[in-house]
Structure 1
Amino acid sequence: MITCALAGLVWTVQVAVYPLFDRVGVDAFKAWHAAYTTCIGWVVGPMMLAELGSGAWLLWTGRRDTSFLISLALLAVVWLSTALVQVPLHQRLSNGFDASTHQHLVRSNWLRTAAWTLRGICLLFCL
């Protein structure tokens, strides 16, 4: 299940990757962050698109149980948070490390972590 893989990935990023951004060093951060965002984009992008596509397909084919509909709302939270919060914060960090932006990224990403985790739980109820 793609959602469970993304939930595991977001927990890894939330607990082990984002908190360590401040350990990279100011001089190396821009290059490191550019490499990180490229690499993570190749992993997360196709998975998020597949998750969105499978959700849309299930909705189109008539899936309407409560757990599934809640999972779609959580998917919307993930996409909105990604587009409106995390991507702009990463764009700011692409100019160089900023402690305030870094802290905002770590704090705000808890919303996506919770949403993907709860979405995975909802979808397990659908099985």
Structure 2
Amino acid sequence: MELTLWELLKLCTDVGLVVLIWMVQLVIYPSFCHFGKEGFDRWHHIYMKNITFIVLPLMLGQLILSGYLLYDSKFGFLHIVDFLLVGSMWLSTALFYKPLHEKLVAQKFDVPLCQKLDRTNWWRTIVWSLIAMLTFYNLVIQF
């Protein structure tokens, strides 16, 4: 059995998001708590504007590829799990993390909110890591 282009692209988007989320979790979010109001406001604005150019194409690609592979697999169990995990990342980002970032903007700087963002983001770090492991398992180990 040979890897299809779609499977390879899915693996690439998953790995890209894993690398990104671990950098965010270990470097970027912890640094938020070390800014003052003025520095944080400037940095957060730059961060939110620029990170979108990286995150949005990866997340959109992951969602499209996950949906395509789910359909192509005739709704195989591992692809259902993958699609649900990818969907949970979209929901948690839209319903929890984006509003949390907006609160940080509105309040200009708030250490407890920065700490909450850092602490709760472990959820996304773990789930995106699981998605990549699931894709790797599905494509390589099951081979």
TM bucket normalised to smaller = over 0.9
More displaced stretch, 17-26 vs 4-13: 17-26
| 2:69 equivalent in structure 1 | 58
- Structure 2: stretches of 5+ with no match in the other structure: 1-11
Once residues 134 and 103 of structure 2 are traced to their aligned partners in structure 1, the CA distance between those partners, rounded to angstroms, is 34
2:35 aligns with one of 24, 29, 37: 24
Q: Assess if the C-alpha contact under 8 Å between 1:81 and 1:111 holds in 2.
A: no
Once residues 66 and 4 of structure 1 are traced to their aligned partners in structure 2, the CA distance between those partners, rounded to angstroms, is 21
Q: Assess if the C-alpha contact under 8 Å between 1:74 and 1:115 holds in 2.
A: yes
| 2:114 equivalent in structure 1 | 102
**Seq. identity, %:** 35
Q: Assess if the C-alpha contact under 8 Å between 1:10 and 1:113 holds in 2.
A: yes
Once residues 27 and 94 of structure 2 are traced to their aligned partners in structure 1, the CA distance between those partners, rounded to angstroms, is 22
1:126 CA drift (Å)? 1.2
1:64 CA drift (Å)? 3.1
Larger radius of gyration: 2
TM-score normalised by the chain length of structure 2: 0.83
1:94 CA drift (Å)? 1.2
Once residues 121 and 63 of structure 1 are traced to their aligned partners in structure 2, the CA distance between those partners, rounded to angstroms, is 21
Q: Deviations over 1:50-107 (max 9, x none)?
A: 1111111112223433322222121122111101111011001112111111111111
Q: Assess if the C-alpha contact under 8 Å between 2:70 and 2:76 holds in 1.
A: no
**1:112 lines up with 2:124 in the alignment:** yes
SS in 2 for 1:94: helix
Once residues 50 and 63 of structure 1 are traced to their aligned partners in structure 2, the CA distance between those partners, rounded to angstroms, is 20
| 1:38 equivalent in structure 2 | 49
Specify whether residues 63 and 113 from structure 1 end up closer, same or farther in structure 2 by C-alpha distance, changes over 3 A only. farther
- Structure 1: stretches of 5+ with no match in the other structure: none
